[in-house]
């Protein structure tokens, strides 16, 4: 197969890790396919100076090309017509142009799938209206510029098919645990400057839908549970990202950016993982917590239940008291914590490995090519 992999539209977040993991897995598999990988500046940084066999060709876009969607489209079309691939795989879409070759597109845009999320009640009308326009454009491009869509969860696929008028092929390929967690030789120690009897990890980026503004109240309710200080919440943002009252600051440890290689070490030092997000399609934080045997406290929303099942305590997404109570219950009830961890061990097996995911991607690409060839005969 001659496969064009389009990572030119990946700039931040978990999509970069998935794309890098996919390319590394292709190298491990050692198939004789020809791979042409178009990369954004940030996706090329994910792979660094790693060496690849001769059947891998990398085409790296500059930041200049990234800034203009029209320049990017023009360059992509030129690349497509030069390579003439059997199939194009946009790891996460949408793709903003129609191609002359079959194109499979990955879907991870939760703002379309969860229109009733509490997040939309928290934002201004102006921001809400912006999302309405953005959703319309993205759905239009997903529908028009793909020959098949790959979703990360069954719920996402079912919702999209039912509500957004997609008539082509669809597949579900779940996200997986990053391979770094199984490669101990690559782990780096993470030094925690502050620790307590009860250490809670809140692994997040500074986005409004992550529900960060609930944190001060969660801390306040949790503080009042005991006479003595007993906990610290370790949050992966910078101190300037979130306003915390002075009297509550001793209960928070601002971690800033944590590298992928440091994550296993950080998890090992934790007693529970907090995930109050209001909107996701899939978060690997759930899988990481299960793998590292840490009980989860999460928002009671469809995307969380779809992934966590019985390995988490579910809380009303806007209730800081609910989250504080759940975290305290885990602290006081070791049997509850152990039950959640054991359930997580079982649940994690549903998701397979990144290599399993890569093989599923390749099977879909091959099926698309074979279907196309049959039509032409």
Same domain, 84 and 116: yes
At 183-229, the pLDDT tens digits run 999 999 999 999 999 999 999 988 899 999 999 999 999 999 998 99
Q: What is the pLDDT of residues 222-256, one digit of tens each?
A: 999 998 999 999 999 999 999 999 999 999 999 99
Helix (H, G, I), strand (E, B) or coil at 228: coil
Q: Contact at 8 Å (CB) between 284 and 175? A: yes
Q: Tell me how far CA of residue 217 lies from CA of 212, 235, 304, in angstroms.
A: 10, 15, 22
* pTM as predicted: 0.90
- The answer on 190 and 94 residing in a single domain is no
User: Which two three-digit tokens encode residue 95?
Assistant: 């793709």
Do 43 and 96 share a domain, yes or no? yes
Nearest alpha-carbon partner for 61 in 42, 84, 88, 40:
40
Q: For the stretch 322-342, what's the b/e string if a residue is b when 16 or more beta carbons lie within 10 angstroms of its beta carbon?
A: bbbbbbbebbeeeeebeebbe
Task: Please check whether residues 78 and 39 belong to one and the same domain.
Answer: yes
332 and 363 co-located in one domain: no
Q: Which two tokens stand for residue 203?
A: 């692994």
pLDDT level of residue 367 (50, 70, 90 thresholds): very high
Same domain, 163 and 247: no
Q: Determine the Cα–Cα distance for residues 181 and 75; give it in Å rounded to an integer.
A: 36
Number of domains composing the chain: 2
**Per residue in 293-342, pLDDT tens?**
999 999 999 999 999 999 999 999 999 999 999 999 999 999 999 999 99
Q: What is the pLDDT of residue 3?
A: 98
Same domain, 157 and 230: no
Answer whether 179's CB lies under 8 Å from 158's CB.
no
Dihedral angle sign, alpha carbons of residues 80, 147, 113, 358: negative
Residue 164 sits in the same domain as residue 228: no
The mean pLDDT value for 273-294 works out to 96
Q: What is the pLDDT of residues 70-81, one digit of tens each?
A: 889 999 999 999
Residues 229, 369: one domain? no
Question: For position 47, what pLDDT does the model report?
Answer: 86
- Tell me how far apart the alpha carbons of residues 28 and 140 are, in angstroms, rounded to a whole number: 36
CA neighbours within 13 Å on the CB side: how many for 143?
Answer: 14
Same domain, 145 and 203: no
DSSP state letter for 169: E
Give the span between the Cα atoms of 304 and 299, in whole angstroms.
Answer: 7
Residue 138 pLDDT > 50:
yes
For the chain, the average pLDDT equals: 93
Q: What is the DSSP string of 257-300?
A: ---GGGHHHHHHT-SEEEE--S--S--HHHHHHHHTT--EEEE-
pLDDT > 60? residue 162? yes
pLDDT at 374: 43
Q: Is the pLDDT of residue 139 over 90?
A: yes
Q: What whole-number distance in Å separates Cα of residue 140 and Cα of residue 165?
A: 10
Which residues are paired to 297 by β-bridges?
A: 274, 313
| 170: pLDDT strictly greater than 90 | yes
Residues 160 and 27 in one domain: yes
Asked if 151 contacts 361 with a C-beta cutoff of 8 angstroms, the reply is no
- Better-predicted residue by pLDDT, 282 or 13: 282
62 with 83, same domain: the answer is yes
Amino acid 23: pLDDT: 95
Q: Is 158 helix (H, G, I), strand (E, B) or coil?
A: helix
CATH number (domain holding residue 163): 3.40.50.2000
Residue-number span of the structural domain to which 81 is assigned: 2-176+353-374
Which H helix or E strand runs over 213? none
pLDDT at 372: 64
Closest CA to 104 of 353, 281, 377, 367: 367
């Amino acid at each position: 197969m001659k496969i064009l992999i389009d990572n030119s539209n990946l700039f931040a977040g978990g999509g970069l890790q998935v794309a890098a993991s996919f390319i590394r897995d292709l190298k491990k598999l050692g198939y004789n396919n020809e791979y042409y990988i178009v990369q954004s500046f940030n996706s090329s940084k994910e792979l660094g100076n790693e060496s690849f066999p001769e059947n891998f060709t990398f085409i790296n876009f500059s930041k200049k090309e990234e800034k203009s969607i029209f320049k990017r489209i023009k360059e992509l079309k030129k690349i497509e017509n030069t390579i003439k691939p059997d199939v194009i795989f946009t790891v996460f879409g949408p793709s903003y142009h129609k191609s002359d070759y079959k194109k499979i597109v990955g879907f991870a845009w939760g703002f379309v799938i969860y229109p009733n999320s509490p997040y939309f009640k928290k934002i201004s009308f102006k921001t809400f209206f912006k999302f309405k326009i953005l959703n319309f454009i993205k759905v239009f491009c997903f529908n028009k510029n793909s020959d098949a869509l790959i979703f990360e969860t069954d719920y996402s696929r079912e919702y999209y098919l039912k509500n957004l008028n997609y008539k082509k092929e669809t597949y579900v390929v779940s996200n997986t645990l990053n391979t770094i967690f199984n490669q101990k030789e690559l782990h780096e120690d993470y030094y925690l400057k502050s620790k307590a009897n009860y250490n809670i990890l809140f692994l997040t980026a500074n986005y409004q839908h992550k529900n960060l503004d609930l944190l001060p109240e969660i801390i306040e309710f949790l503080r009042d549970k005991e006479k003595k200080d007993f906990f610290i919440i370790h949050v992966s943002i910078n101190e300037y990202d979130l306003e915390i009252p002075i009297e509550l600051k001793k209960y928070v440890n601002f971690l800033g950016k944590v590298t992928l290689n440091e994550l296993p070490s950080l998890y090992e030092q934790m007693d529970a993982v907090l995930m109050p997000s209001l909107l996701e399609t899939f978060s690997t934080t759930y899988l990481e917590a299960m793998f590292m045997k840490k009980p989860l406290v999460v928002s009671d929303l469809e995307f969380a239940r779809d992934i966590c099942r019985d390995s988490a305590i579910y809380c009303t997404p806007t209730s800081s008291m609910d989250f504080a109570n759940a975290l305290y219950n885990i602290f006081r009830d070791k049997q509850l914590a152990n039950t959640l961890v054991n359930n997580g061990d079982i649940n994690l097996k549903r998701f397979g490995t990144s290599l399993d995911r890569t093989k599923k991607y390749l099977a879909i690409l091959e099926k698309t090519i074979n279907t196309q060839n049959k039509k032409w005969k």
